[in-house]
A = this chain, B = another copy of it.
């Protein structure tokens, strides 16, 4: 099939029906559970997953868990409540700040940030970013730390390894406590935990092992982000959720997924990736996407490197025999 601008268009109605059937069968036959617990963040992926589950199982067999912590945007909870009201499932709020503080999340993170910026204190917010010029050169990933204060002043430095690892290790406590909270609600009801990652996140490794990566089933892990948007339109989820820029919802300064992980806008990344998977020659992809051949090659190399680096995240526990 020829590679065109429309190669990632799906028949959203047909895909929805097939996904609902799969969700029912997997929950019943493979998992022996009778309902679904979904972490609802007000983002597009968890929204589509919750809407699909409500349709597949009936809203009375679905519960959406909102899990804010002190760095979360208050908008996330508002959007999640709106979603739950529209699709008729119960929404429960579990603030995980107390659990995070108890494990030293904020302290450990701030200690690492202060090793880079000694002036950092809770009046500043912080984020980590990667190079976003990945179509221009074949660069390794490295990380910048940016801190911002309330008057809009910001400072940026490349992170030494030890600081980077400690900030990431501390932030990953958030995803793992969210998984933990979802399983509490699932085990209490004998229901299943839904993982809400899409293909971009799953296959490029943008998830935390046993954090948001830990779930019983992942209904949209095979769909490109721009396909998830098509399902969202078909399912008529709230417009503000569709229009919201995807963020990590992990750092105190707002950071887009493009800045933090993918380094490329979703349309270009998904199309390049599809082209790579289907062995579309770089020349053809360049023509369809309005890029140079060189840019396509850098994009291919970057995606390939990320996909190859994810083995660790997806490995089941290794046994010695």
Chain A: residues with CB nearer than 8 A to chain B? 18-19, 22-23, 26, 30-32, 96-103, 108, 165-166, 168-170, 172-173, 176-177, 179-181, 183-190, 195, 209-210, 213-222, 311-312, 314-321
Distance between Cα atoms of A96 and B169 in the complex (Å)? 17
> Taking chain A's interface residues, is the majority helix, strand, or loop, or is none over half, making it mixed?
helix
With both beta carbons as reference points, the residue of chain B lying nearest to A316 in the complex is identified as B316
A190-B165 contact given A172-B184, A222-B321, CB 8 Å threshold: yes
Asked if A320 and B221 make an inter-chain contact with CB atoms under 8 angstroms apart, the answer reads yes
A168-B181 contact given A23-B320, A320-B219, CB 8 Å threshold: no
Asked if A318 and B102 make an inter-chain contact with CB atoms under 8 angstroms apart, the answer reads no
Kindly provide the distance from the CB of A298 to the nearest chain B CB, expressed in whole angstroms: 24
Asked if B195 and A183 make an inter-chain contact with CB atoms under 8 angstroms apart, the answer reads no
Asked if B218 and A210 make an inter-chain contact with CB atoms under 8 angstroms apart, the answer reads no
With both beta carbons as reference points, the residue of chain B lying nearest to A165 in the complex is identified as B188
Most central of A96, A102, A320 by chain B CB within 10 Å: A320
Distance between Cα atoms of A213 and B183 in the complex (Å)? 14
Q: List 25 A-B contacts (CB under 8 A).
A: A30-B311, A30-B318, A97-B102, A99-B100, A99-B102, A103-B177, A108-B184, A165-B187, A169-B183, A169-B185, A169-B186, A169-B187, A172-B183, A172-B184, A173-B184, A176-B183, A177-B177, A179-B210, A180-B210, A210-B214, A216-B317, A217-B318, A217-B319, A218-B319, A220-B320
Asked if A195 and B98 make an inter-chain contact with CB atoms under 8 angstroms apart, the answer reads no
